[in-house]
Amino acid sequence: MKNTNDNSSSRDLKLPARFERRFSVHLYWVSHGLLLLRSGKSEIDATRVDILFQDVTWMALPAWFNGLEITSTSEVGLPFQLPASIQIEVHLRRVYRLATEGIDHLVVASNRVSISEDEGNYFDASLLIPGLQVTQAFPN
């Protein structure tokens, strides 16, 4: 997945996808429907991995995932019923199943999921949304 010129790359995520890394919900930007999951560098992993869902209309997720499997599914196979307003949106989008530790979680988003891998630090801007900076600064 690495580009030999700049030690980074980004592309559409091919499903199903499986990762043996810890991911967290790094950003959800409601006005743009962006959901960014991030796995930072660690003693085991020398790179940072970002996964971006766009046009998110509904999600049921934990704050972090210990290992992650992402597949596309149909609304018919969901373990619960979506609200009527979301059911209308499902026909225009895709339902993603995000599984961790044997438990399924869901995201309803556009038909495109992007992934990038680089050597950036945890709070550096993502290659997938470079104009947006998430910082460690919190209001007092």
Domain boundaries, the chain: 9-118
Quote the pLDDT of residue 51: 98
pLDDT of residue 132 exceeding 90: no
Quote the pLDDT of residue 110: 93
Residue 47 pairs in a beta bridge with none
Label residue 1 by pLDDT band (50, 70, 90): very low
pLDDT in tens, 17-37: 999 999 999 999 998 999 999
